[in-house]
Amino acid sequence: MLTPAQAQDRAAALIDLARRAGADAADAIYSGQSSEAVQVRLGALEDVERSESEHLDLRVFVGSRSASIGSSDLSDNALTELAARSVAMARLAPEDPYAGLAPEDRLLTGLLPDLDLADSQDLDPRALRELALAVEDAARAVTGVTNSEGGSASAGERSVALVTSHGFSGAYGGTSRQISATVIAGEGSGMQRDYAWRSAHHLADLPSAQVLGKQAGTRAVARLNPGRMKSGAMPVVFDPRVGGSLIGHLAGGISGSAIARRASFLLDKDGAQLFAKGISIIDNPLRQRALGARPFDGEGLPTAQRDLVRDGRLTGWLMDSASARQLGLEPTGHASRGAGGSPGVSPSALHLEAGQLSVAELIADIADGVLVTELIGSGVNGVTGDYSRGASGFRIVNGTVVGPVAEFTVAGNLIDMFAALIPASDLEWHRSVNVPTIRIDGMMVAGD
């Protein structure tokens, strides 16, 4: 894997080759990552894995025609052929009046912000094994845990570089540190499984293996002997580990490309009062050490903190340059790049601001409701906003969480759900989408 500086140089060389081959404009993005992972089960080493991958993608423009192509072979001969082929493909592509690089006057200039994404502390396979054993041991030590699917620990590095033909050149790197445990409680047909998993750029930002393992074991035991829910309308409370998906649906609905295609449940909702007053949802790609943080977007534009929802009102769309041109607006610095193809759109480090009520206060007046800790399936219609997910969790009776329940469905429409959403005060900060516990009244629960 190349270092960020080496990746930047290689991307610049590919841009030069593309211009020589006849491209009017081009951008090239490098993404490389390496990782080591250790898996243990029942106290014995089960697997040690090392992986490394890198990819260099080129997008070229010939007039308003474009083509994208990539390669994991970064040799001079391979890149020369890549540049020639991409230009030949672009000449045969249909014209697209909205295609093109980001506006030159909007590009990030000067030094990149330092987001502290790289951990200087090394983790060799021996240290990873010790972490994996410790997290599994702690999970298995919980009374009621009867088996294990394993503990794991991993350490990785990443490099990203983007170079454009009209003046942008930037690169950054980062590390990842992860530990997890998955265990089983109970016996026979009554067995229940659960897990705990955490990821961070720095090892110091992870909880101890003992704390995480105990959490996995406690969660599995708490799920034993689940009951069934009766069908009906009731308050549904989303645990933070699943509540972030609701904010993810919002982000998908305000994608400029979805709006331009008129394929979003939030079409014509710009500026609308979607949530209750006082609720804010913020994307902050410059938050130090945050998962998803990045100094520039997939087109070389600067990233910045932005309120997607302010005081309950939607503030606009997330746009790359192509969707912005189509909508007659400006790009917002949310372009994202995968392996090949044109940029998409995504937020970076989202959070729903905490509310004023503790979790106990949030559920205190619920006579009959449910706390959802796991969502199953993907029954969400991004065009209509209709929402239906399989779920499991715990019943709430007279303001108290009383016991596990499983095999039920929660349903509603995202517009109605957003309007009824109430956040608690227990905001967590260890995911790319961070949310507190969320309450939504009036959802339909389908059980027995």
How do residues 104-125 score in pLDDT, each as one tens digit? 999 999 999 999 999 999 899 9
Q: 379: which DSSP letter?
A: E
CA distance 327 to 203: 43
Higher pLDDT, 25 or 342: 25
Mean pLDDT of all residues in the chain? 96
**CB-based contact 161:236 (threshold 8 Å):** no
Q: Which two tokens stand for residue 239?
A: 């645990």
Query: Percentage of the chain with pLDDT > 70?
Result: 100
Choose among 131, 145, 146, 216: nearest CA to 178: 131
Residue after which a domain boundary falls, among 221, 255, 275: 221
CATH number at residue 135: 3.30.2290.10
- What pLDDT is attached to residue 378? 85
pLDDT in tens, 256-276: 999 999 999 999 999 999 999
Same domain, residue pair 11 and 119? yes
DSSP 405-432: EEEEEEEEEHHHHHHHEEEBS----SSS
Handedness of CA 421, 278, 239, 430 (dihedral sign): positive
Residue 338 has a pLDDT of: 78
β-bridge partners, 69: 58
Residues 69 and 50 in one domain: yes
pLDDT of residue 300: 97
Classified as helix, coil or strand, 152 is strand
Q: State the average pLDDT over residues 64-75.
A: 94
Domain boundary (221, 239, 262) is at: 221
- 216 and 261 in one domain? no
Residues 314 and 215 in one domain: no
- Reported in sequence order, the residue ranges of 192-342 that DSSP labels E, i.e. its strands, are 192-200, 232-238, 281-283, 306-310, 313-314, 335-336
- Relative orientation angle of helices 4-21 and 76-92, to the nearest 10 degrees: 50
Of 191, 221, 251, which residue constitutes the final position of a domain?
A: 221
Query: How distant is the alpha carbon of residue 33 from its chain centre?
Result: 17
pLDDT at 342 over 90: no
For residues 124 and 360, what is the distance between their CA atoms, to the nearest angstrom?
43
Q: Mean per-residue pLDDT for 54-82?
A: 95
DSSP 165: T
- What is the C-alpha to C-alpha distance for residues 394 and 240, in angstroms, rounded to an integer? 14
By DSSP bridging, strand 350-352 and strand 433-434 are parallel
In this prediction the pTM is 0.94
Structural domain for 117, as ranges: 4-221
Whether 303 and 112 have beta carbons less than 8 Å apart is answered as no
The reply to whether 187 and 110 lie within a common domain is yes
How does residue 169 score in pLDDT terms, banded at 50, 70 and 90? very high
What distance in Å separates the CA atoms of residue 150 and residue 175, rounded to the nearest whole number?
23
The answer to whether residues 27 and 167 touch, using CB atoms and an 8 Å cutoff, is no
The Cα–Cα gap between 91 and 94 comes to 8
Is 236 found in the same domain as 141?
no
Q: Span 406-421, mean pLDDT?
A: 97
Mean pLDDT, residues 336-349: 87
User: Of all helices (H) and strands (E), which one includes residue 444?
Assistant: strand 438-446
Residue 448 is predicted with a pLDDT of 85
Share of the chain above pLDDT 90, in %: 97
Q: SS3 for 250?
A: helix
Q: In terms of domains, do 262 and 411 share one? A: yes
Give me the mean pLDDT over the 337-362 stretch: 92
State how many domains the chain has: 2
Residues 6 or more apart whose Cβ sits within 8 Å of residue 116:
201, 202, 288, 289
Contact 59, 66 (CB under 8 A): yes
Q: What is the pLDDT of residue 232?
A: 96
Cα 356 from Cα 358, distance rounded (Å): 7
Let me know whether 95 and 214 are in one domain. Answer: yes
Shared-domain flag, residues 20 and 131: yes
Co-location of 215 and 268 in the same domain: no
Read off the pLDDT of residues 190-211 as tens digits, 9 standing for 90 and up. 999 999 999 999 999 999 999 9
Q: What is d(CA 146, CA 136) in angstroms, rounded to the nearest whole number? A: 12
300 & 381 share domain: yes
- Identity of the amino acid at 236: V
Same domain, 212 and 252: no
pLDDT tens figures, 125-138: 999 999 999 999 99
